[in-house]
Structure 1
Amino acid sequence: MQEQLLNIKIMKKIYTIILFVFAFVSITNAQTTIYDSAFDEASYDDAGIQADLNAHPDWVAGHFNNNSTWGANTNDQLQTGSNFAYAILGTPITGSNGDVITVTSIIMLGFDNQAFDANDTNMTLVGLSPEAAPSASSVLGQQREGLVVQAQASTSSVDINNAGGTGNLSPSNPSISQANKSAYEIIMEFSIGVDAASSSKKVKIKNVGTSQETSITANAGGIRQEIYNAITSSGAYYFNWSLGFFQSGDEINRILQNRLIITKNTPLLSTNKDSNFKFDMYPNPVKNELHINTLEKVNKVEVFDLLGKAVLTVNNARESIDVSSLNNSLYVIKLTSDKGVTTKKFVKK
């Protein structure tokens, strides 16, 4: 009799685990990494590629008016010292209805010891192009979907402008300070709908050198038809196009890119109605720090084991949580924001 009761308890526990896992599988997204580089690979060390990035198999680089272009450098960065030089990643970015494409660029507006001049306004333009090799400057200037990164010497700020993109950012021209200027993280999140009008773009700017400063997020409805057509067919392409910087004395004379990450989240099954925002996390599997990347302000992070028991809760989490105290196993992480809740699974190793 006792053995039967024990077996029943075991079966109930297994059944609970199955139900719990199934409930979360229904809202799991598959994340695909389209491109991820800190430009520290050996392929960027060649002298020819440092002189002209166009020689690298991943990139198309050039200039619409002269021979100046982008190149790599010995500090594991891409750089240009010329206005209106472009670098386009040759990897196609594709997606369909329901997909969320996230493009994260870390750029530097000059070196740390260089100052913004009153003549510095539009510094660079990052975004998606419908062509891998643009036939004219109008392709990047008028058919693209992206952001102009602007330096405002009068207010000691850096902002992002949607000029040329579809819709208006809300709030418009989100700004962040130039304090401890080192690098700026620019995140663009494209949610693909059934057409260009029902798609959307969300953007974020963060001063990497000022961890205490809150990053700024803005939204824009719809994306350009040219970009929607490219994404849903043969692919759109990431680009960085330097614009106007002063290049005199101690003022800005370089635009540099430190990192580029492009991911795509695709729903595996029907998404739970409570899953109202997207986030990425890494590394997975994780040993100590689990980093969380989202465009929303996270009010609470909860971690559950496979029995549905909360084993870790962090209120007002910033960009990572410490999971080193957890046993090696599979867990579900739940994020709560003003927009609702969303979940993913991760492995603690």
Structure 2
Amino acid sequence: MTHHAAPTCTLAPHGDTTALRLTLANPTPEPVTCSHVTITHRRASGPEPDRPADHQHEPPTASSGTTNWDLQPAGTARHELRPADPVTITPGTSLDILLKGLRPTQGSTHLEVTCHTTSAATQPPPAVFTITGPTEDITSFWAEPADVKAGTPFTLRWTAKAPKAGLAYTICYGDTAPVPVNSFMKGQDGTWTCPGIQKTTAFALLATTTSGNDTLTSARTLTVGVGVPNLTVGRLSADGTVTLFTRPTPVLPLTTTHEPRNRTHHPTTDGLVAAHIRPGTDCANALLRLRVTTIDPDKVDSTGKHLTVVHSAETLAPDSNAPRNLLVPVPKGATLAAYTMAAKGSYTAQVTWYPMGTGSLDAI
């Protein structure tokens, strides 16, 4: 007897990147043991994306619950997911595998997903899905503001193709039911007010196009932070001139480029980070993101390790006539990550750290 673990495939919000959720269901009365999963992909439309250097991003990861899966290439346009030990899917249940850290690309892509079982019988045929990158239907997606107080309403805005029959937009976040937002769009501009969140939360704007039996999904994701890192200046007294900021240090020096830029630093004193980005005349939608990670001294996990708190601020400059700026506090001992990129064309960006003291900014 052949037992099929039928895969399904959906996009899921996960911070500032795209996550792909593979669900392997077992509708049979017998257990199914999955040895590995193969994913074959080919581009269906759109140009090949420009690939950044490997050091620009962390590699994708895959997990299901507490089980980590090894994601490795297995030939041209083919990857394998393997758990440390075969995973058994009990009757009537399913297994979710979340691939994190995927970078959305332009155009649509066909995925063929096959769950390989330890049964000696013939393996089930692959399930085929089509997903699209964020530039197919959605141009931009941002929060105003990007950091809020717990429980305070804030606004999500986006630009995208105007909704029509067969094109539906949905916002997903946390454990809340998906929110249909076609009615919140006027032409290509959308505005939706979130009633508030209690902790830093990832949001996804999904655009689903249905044509006959084909369904295409594109997505944009962002993170809204709760709270702002505290700055500790300490006691300040002087008889003469007081200099609040000492020598500024470049995090990302002023540069015009086509390439993504990504740097991580560790400040040894409190400070502020000022950042600026301007698209070139050949560019649209240049992204500037600052992420500050701190240690919460009052919260620990089950092992006694202090929990980390991530505060993320980002802005999207739509064209050369609309540069964007960010000003973010960075406390002593935090980790500062700065990232800039443009989907197409050149842009100019600069990120500078202004220390409130004589400490250094150490590269990681």
Which category of TM-score, normalised to the shorter sequence, fits these structures?
Answer: under 0.3
Structure with greater helix share of residues? 1
Q: Which structure has more strand as a fraction of its residues? A: 2
TM-score, normalisation: structure 2: 0.23
Q: TM-score, normalised by structure 1?
A: 0.23
Larger RCO (CA within 8 A; separation ≥ 6): 1
